Amino acid sequence: MRRRPGFASTLAAVVVVTAPVAMVTIGAGTANAESRTVPMSFTQIFRRCDFSPTKYVSATGYGRPTVVVHTGSNELVADVQIATAIPGIRYDVRMIQMPRVSSSPCNAGDPGVIAGWLNTDAAGAGSVTLRGPVAQGATGVWLSISRPGEFSQSPAEFYTTDFIAQL
C-alpha cells in the first residue's frame, strides 16, 4: 500500500523548487547588463574616510539601518532605510567611494562623496535615496549614517556599513 505525502512535505517540495526560480527572476529585465545590486548591513563602528576603524569611540543608538546599493556603468544609487531610531531626528548620510587616502576628507561636497540626509518619523523610521556619478578610478563604495554631537566633535550616533561594495 502506498502512502500519500502530507501537506507539510508537499509544501517543502514547492518551496525548494520555487526558491531558485524567484532568485533568477529578480535580476530579469534590467536595462544595463553590467548593473549590480548589493544589500549591505550596518554596524556601530566609527570609521575614518579610508574605512579604517577609529579607536576609543563607543557605540550609541538603537537604530537599525539597511541599504541596497545599485551600481551601474556611470551611476551609483543607494536606497537607505532606518528603523527604531530616535523619532523626529535628522541623520546625515554619506556614500563614500574608494580607494581613498587616510588624509582625504569625506564630508558632503568632497570629491567621491555623495551626501544627503534623512528625517525620521514619529515611529523612528526614515528613508532616503542617494544618487550620483561614479568617481574616476573608484573601485568600491561604503556608507555612513551619523547624527552630529551637540557638544562634541564625535557624532552622537553613528552607523557604517560592514564592508566595501565592489563596483
DSSP state string for 127-161: EEEEEEEPPTT--EEEEEEEE--SSSSS-SEEEEE
- In this predicted structure, what is the pLDDT of residue 58? 82
Distances (CA, A) of 127 to 23, 36, 82, 140, 147: 25, 21, 6, 22, 15
Q: What is the pLDDT of residues 102-156, one digit of tens each?
A: 889 999 999 999 999 999 999 999 999 999 999 999 999 999 999 988 888 888 9
- Which architecture, in CATH terms, is 33-166? Sandwich (2.60)
Q: What is the mean pLDDT of the chain?
A: 83
DSSP H helix total and E strand total for the chain: 1, 9
Contact between 108 and 93 under an 8 Å Cβ cutoff? The reply is no
Cα angle for residues 113, 70, 164 (degrees, 5° grid): 60
Q: Which three cell numbers stand for residue 59?
A: 557605540
- In this predicted structure, what is the pLDDT of residue 27? 39
Q: Which three cell numbers stand for residue 109?
A: 561636497
- pTM of the entire predicted model: 0.77
